[in-house]
């Protein structure tokens, strides 16, 4: 398979590589780690270290990058969400932490905009918190003496609600924490500190998407109050005789080092050069696809709905005669090799995320699209 090597470790299990034109999604394995990251993981595996001290120093490094009071490496973004939710319930009170999950907590409601609900937001509820939906019109009505925080999710095609800045102002005016799920929002690199600078109390990122770290890593950055409380509940708190709700969410020393190395590489890269590379890939793909009547091919790069330049196939219902977008997706996903394209999109379009594609994969995608179209 010339488009991507077939490692023996997968071949032995009968698992074939696929073409990822969908983005850095968990279901397709996150991102491809750079050789420097792999080397750092291998090097980290050769000695023993005190894990608590390693995590403390890693947190200091990340906090400096994020311009936050504190930070910590987590077991993926979902773990960061669990921990900042737990932090809102317990503070640094160990006795409260021992009660988690605690659905009876007197202030356990976290507000979330109706247009930001998603399959992953249940992570907020694992410590015993309860998500309560609000709209732009009834936010103030939903804030009660049971409310402890407002959650805000940044993701493609999600409703921005009142906007992050305004919502932060409301949260703090009402004495509430403001928690951000920004799992896939790196790049742009400015987001590492942007949400903190706007006033967010806690921000969760994935370490295994655009950063290019191990897929099972994440970042929690935030205020000292949130980070200290999250630590009490995390696996990093290794000294007490009891284990907090985050104990199962372990991050190995190898993955901590892998993430730190990936972050160093990530912040050193020139984003404009990266964007030019992705634009070149999108143009190359567009050039090879043969449009038919009623089909328009564009290149779009409007953040946050597009992660870098995407090649977009749009279909005009009144003029287009051909396979539906559902049929096109099924054809690509059932082919050899399997091709997965973007899932978050406007109606009646196929969006092809090019950032992880090599030139051979671009050729194959164009060939397959021309075949079905």
Q: Give the chain's mean pLDDT.
A: 96
Q: What is the mean pLDDT of residues 119-123?
A: 97
Residue 344 above 80 pLDDT?
no
Q: Using CA atoms, how far apart are residues 99 and 81, in angstroms rounded to an integer?
A: 18
Q: Using CA atoms, how far apart are residues 253 and 45, in angstroms rounded to an integer?
A: 7
Query: pLDDT digit string (tens) for 200-241?
Result: 999 999 999 999 999 999 999 999 999 999 999 999 998 878
Q: pTM (2 decimals)?
A: 0.95
Q: Using CA atoms, how far apart are residues 103 and 84, in angstroms rounded to an integer?
A: 16
CA 35 to chain centre: 22
State the fold for domain 35-268.
3.40.640
Q: Using CA atoms, how far apart are residues 205 and 217, in angstroms rounded to an integer?
A: 9
- Contact of 152 with 161, CB cutoff 8 Å: yes
Q: What is the mean pLDDT of residues 353-366?
A: 96
Predicted local distance difference test score (pLDDT) of residue 240? 76
Q: Is omega for the bond preceding 108 within 30 degrees of 0, making it cis?
A: no
Q: What are the C-alpha distances in Å from 234 to residues 50, 110, 174, 215, 267?
A: 16, 20, 28, 19, 27
Q: At 256, which helix (H) or strand (E)?
A: helix 253-268
Query: What is the percent of the chain where pLDDT is above 70?
Result: 99
Q: Using CA atoms, how far apart are residues 68 and 202, in angstroms rounded to an integer?
A: 9
Q: Please, where in the chain does CATH 3.90.1150.180 lie? A: 8-30+270-372
| DSSP letter (8 states) at residue 121 | G
Query: pLDDT digit string (tens) for 76-96?
Result: 999 999 999 999 999 999 999
- Contact of 125 with 105, CB cutoff 8 Å: no
Query: What is the percent of the chain where pLDDT is above 90?
Result: 94
Q: What is the mean pLDDT of residues 272-294?
A: 96
In 3-state terms, what secondary structure has residue 311? strand
Predicted local distance difference test score (pLDDT) of residue 1? 46
Q: Using CA atoms, how far apart are residues 169 and 148, in angstroms rounded to an integer?
A: 15
Going by pLDDT thresholds of 50, 70 and 90, the confidence category of residue 355 is: very high
Domain 8-30+270-372, CATH number (from 1.10.10.60, 2.30.110.10, 3.30.230.70, 3.90.1150.180) = 3.90.1150.180
- Contact of 237 with 28, CB cutoff 8 Å: no
Going by pLDDT thresholds of 50, 70 and 90, the confidence category of residue 3 is: low
Going by pLDDT thresholds of 50, 70 and 90, the confidence category of residue 347 is: confident
Q: Please, where in the chain does CATH 3.40.640.10 lie? A: 35-268
């Amino acid at each position: 398979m010339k488009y991507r090597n077939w490692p023996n470790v997968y071949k032995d299990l009968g698992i074939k590589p696929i073409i990822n034109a969908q983005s850095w999604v968990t279901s397709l394995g996150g991102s491809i780690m750079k050789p420097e990251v792999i080397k750092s993981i291998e090097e980290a595996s050769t000695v023993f270290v005190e894990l608590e001290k390693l995590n403390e120093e890693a947190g200091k490094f990340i906090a400096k990058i994020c311009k936050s009071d504190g930070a910590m490496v987590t077991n993926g973004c979902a773990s960061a969400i669990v921990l900042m939710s737990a932090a809102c319930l317990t503070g640094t009170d160990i006795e409260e932490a021992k009660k988690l999950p605690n659905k009876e907590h007197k202030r356990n409601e976290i507000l979330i905009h109706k247009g930001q609900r998603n399959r992953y937001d249940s992570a907020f509820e694992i410590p015993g918190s309860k998500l309560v939906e609000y709209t732009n019109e009834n936010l103030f009505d939903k804030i009660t003496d049971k409310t402890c925080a407002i959650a805000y999710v940044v993701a493609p095609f999600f409703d921005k609600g009142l906007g992050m800045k305004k919502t932060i102002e409301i949260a703090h005016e009402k004495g509430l924490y403001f928690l951000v799920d920004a799992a896939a929002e790196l790049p742009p690199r400015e987001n590492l500190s942007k949400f903190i600078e706007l006033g967010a109390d806690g921000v969760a990122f994935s370490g295994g998407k655009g950063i290019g770290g191990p897929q099972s890593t994440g970042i929690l950055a935030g205020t000292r109050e949130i980070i200290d409380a999250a630590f009490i509940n995390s696996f990093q708190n290794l000294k007490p005789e009891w284990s907090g709700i985050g104990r199962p969410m372990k991050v190995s020393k190898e993955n901590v080092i892998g993430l730190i190395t990936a972050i160093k590489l990530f912040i050193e890269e020139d984003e404009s050069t990266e964007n030019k590379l992705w634009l070149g890939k999108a143009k190359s793909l567009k050039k090879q696809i043969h449009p038919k009547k009623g089909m328009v091919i564009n290149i779009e790069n409007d953040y946050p709905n597009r992660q870098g330049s995407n090649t977009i196939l749009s279909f005009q219902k009144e003029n287009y005669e051909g396979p539906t977008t559902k049929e096109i997706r099924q054809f690509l996903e059932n082919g050899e090799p399997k091709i997965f394209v973007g899932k978050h999109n406007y109606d009646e379009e196929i969006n092809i995320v090019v950032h992880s594609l090599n030139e051979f994969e671009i050729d194959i995608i164009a060939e397959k699209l021309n075949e079905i179209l």
